[in-house]
Structure 1
Amino acid sequence: MDWLGDHLWSLWLGAAALLAVAEMMSLDLVLIMLAVGALGGMVAALAGAPVLLQVLVAAAGSIGMLALVRPPVARRLHRGPELKLGHGKLVGRTGIVTAAISASETGRVRLDGDVWSATPYDESLVIAEGETVEVFEIRGATAVVHPVPQLDD
């Protein structure tokens, strides 16, 4: 029992290692926070603190990690890329005008292989056939487009 008292830090280290391995199975980010607390208990044991203080340090470290570190890390990990579905995925894409577009006359645009009816974003513009346009918005089955400026060589 004397050896255990002198090497209590190794029990804390073992507990931290087991918790870290168990975290790899669960991926909940809870057990790894408890492992960090166990490492705090190990540091207290290496400093020669009594067992009660080691337990308090481990508990405080674990609770602190669970309360302060886990929420933002979990939010960041669970947030994925924005998924655009349906017509919304066309916004920002470019297309080619197949029939002239003006405010008074709905034209046509080829977007991703499909032909869409289109109106200009700026109602004062007339967009000629063959011009490249960018989709600003989709209103029903009509694309609201604006010409893409062409750089002259």
Structure 2
Amino acid sequence: MDIDAWVWWLIGAAALGIPLVMTAMPEFGMLAVGAVAAAVTAGLGGDVVLQVVVFAVVSVALIAVVRPIAARHRSQRPELVSGVEALKGRSAVVLERVDANGGRIKLAGEIWSARPLDNEQSYEAGQEVDVVEIDGATAVVI
């Protein structure tokens, strides 16, 4: 019993899928897609040289195109920030004078203790300030 070339390519694609799952390296998946393309070429009657060329071209093209896109997405900050990080950059209203000794602001519907970034600055009640940092339970404002 002779096994067709396309079956061998599919076995190769499945074999490449195992390290993809075990290591989470997307390059193995791209090589597996190249093997599937070579299996299709073999199933359509392409010779061995054409099968290898299709495998190489599809695999290299996927790695060259998809890998930089994936790397760019991996390095971007998540769009959804929560907790203390979500408060940085928000505006607040001064409730009690904020100076080097402290004060109170209304931030995101809650009352926070606050201090100015520059200890020589002070903000009066009713002024709008921006939160630059959260230090424990104190908002640092400008």
**8 A Cα contact 2:103 2:115, kept in partner:** yes
2:31 to 12, 30, 34: 34
1:54 to 31, 51, 54: 51
2:68 to 71, 77, 82: 71
| Distance (whole Å) between structure 1 residues aligned to residue 85 and residue 41 of structure 2 | 59
Q: Does 1:23 align with 2:20?
A: yes
Q: Does 1:109 align with 2:107?
A: no
Per-residue deviation, 1:109: 3.4
TM-score by length of 1: 0.63
| Distance (whole Å) between structure 1 residues aligned to residue 21 and residue 87 of structure 2 | 36
- Residues 34-82 of structure 1: per-residue CA shift (max 9 Å, x gap): 0011011001001101111101110111111111122102321453427
Give the AA of the match of 2:33: V
TM-score by length of 2: 0.67
| Distance (whole Å) between structure 2 residues aligned to residue 92 and residue 10 of structure 1 | 59
| Distance (whole Å) between structure 2 residues aligned to residue 21 and residue 95 of structure 1 | 56
Q: Tell me, which stretches of 5 or more residues in structure 1 are unaligned?
A: 102-106, 121-126, 145-153
Give the AA of the match of 1:69: V
Percent of paired sites with the same residue = 29
**8 A Cα contact 1:29 1:74, kept in partner:** no
| Distance (whole Å) between structure 1 residues aligned to residue 60 and residue 85 of structure 2 | 46
Per-residue deviation, 1:24: 1.0
- 1:11 corresponding residue in structure 2: 8
Larger radius of gyration: 1
Aligned-residue CA RMSD (Å): 3.6
How many residues align? The count is 126
- 1:98 corresponding residue in structure 2: 96
| Distance (whole Å) between structure 2 residues aligned to residue 14 and residue 134 of structure 1 | 63
